[in-house]
Structure 1
């Protein structure tokens, strides 16, 4: 089959356009699979989470006294306050000397607890819950924010269930 000049030009333009589209799709990590590549933002591990970053503006945390998490093997998922809703392992912004209650609910029936650690990976002032493995069970930790607090973790899955803490000193 022979092409005339117009048909050949149209054919080559179509091929070039297809290649360009494939190249763009390939650099965005999709290639028709919908999977992110190494250069895209990481996704939450826990399906119930929508994001990896919450609101860390101290003004959003000024009147917060109660914090709620759902506990999953893959990570903590924020429930309250609104600044951490559906955020996996959210950063907590706490004010030095302020009293707080952190309540977490076991969502997968695996043994979890929550503890505040210093930068030496030691529990700060005994701030840790006993832990439980009953799906639906809750535990509440009452604590005072101190500059020694660096992270919060599940002591049974410390690599996956870990978040940073920013202590605001006034």
Structure 2
């Protein structure tokens, strides 16, 4: 057995596998990492179906992380015309599906969440079929668009404390002394 071979796996095979895995990780998320929301569309409201966090809720809040890939699969529950539209704060459409009227038909909207996303609605029934989007931390875009993280503030405070503490100690020594003063003999 050569020095490079361990069991049935060679170092070269191991390194090739690791390099390929690194390229997949660097290129973005795989389809297996796409999170899916399932909704039912009817005039009264969007009906949450899956995951369990939105199941049974009308116009559920969709919790998204900027930079994460998502899939919304929605089913027409009442046979009236509906579509699914993602909107920004100003009401501009960012992503949308086609309007469909066939009861039981489904459509899928796949997108990567961005910090602009604020709500979703059906453009035919925008006052009743409307829900909010809640953005949470995570992803490079979130860091770039949401300012300084809490961890950064804590780190900065620790650096400032580390820089100031010797100065405070020196000040205390000057004010109170060291207690090693020689008493004049008399």
2:71 corresponds to which residue? 101
Match of 2:92? Answer: 122
Alignment size in residue pairs:
106
| TM-score (normalised: structure 1) | 0.61
Pairwise mapping of residues 18-167 of structure 1 onto structure 2 (< 5 A)?
65-124=35-94, 127-167=95-135
Post-superposition Cα deviations, 1:80-138, rounded to whole Å, max 9, x if no partner, equal 000000100000100110001100000000000001001111001xx100120000000
The 8 Å contact of residues 97 and 108 in structure 2, kept in 1 or not, is answered as yes
TM-score (norm 2): 0.56
Q: Is the 8 A contact 2:34 2:68 kept in 1?
A: no
CA separation in 2, counterparts of 1:164 and 1:138? Answer: 21
Deviation at 1:169, TM superposition (A): 2.5
Report the CA distance shift for 1:132/1:108 in structure 2 as closer, same or farther (over 3 A).
same
CA RMSD of aligned residues (A): 1.2
More helix by share: 2
CA-to-aligned-CA distance 1:19-61 (integer Å, 9 cap, x gap): xxxxxxxxxxxxxxxxxxxxxxxxxxxxxxxxxxxxxxxxxxx
| Unaligned runs of at least 5 residues, structure 1 | 1-62
The 2-side partners of 1:169 and 1:151 are apart by 17
Taking the aligned partners of 1:149 and 1:101, their CA distance within structure 2 comes to 14
Indicate how the Cα distance of structure 1 residues 71 and 159 shifts in structure 2: closer, same or farther if over 3 A, else same.
Answer: same
Does the aligned pair in 2 maintain the 1:64–1:81 contact within 8 Å?
no
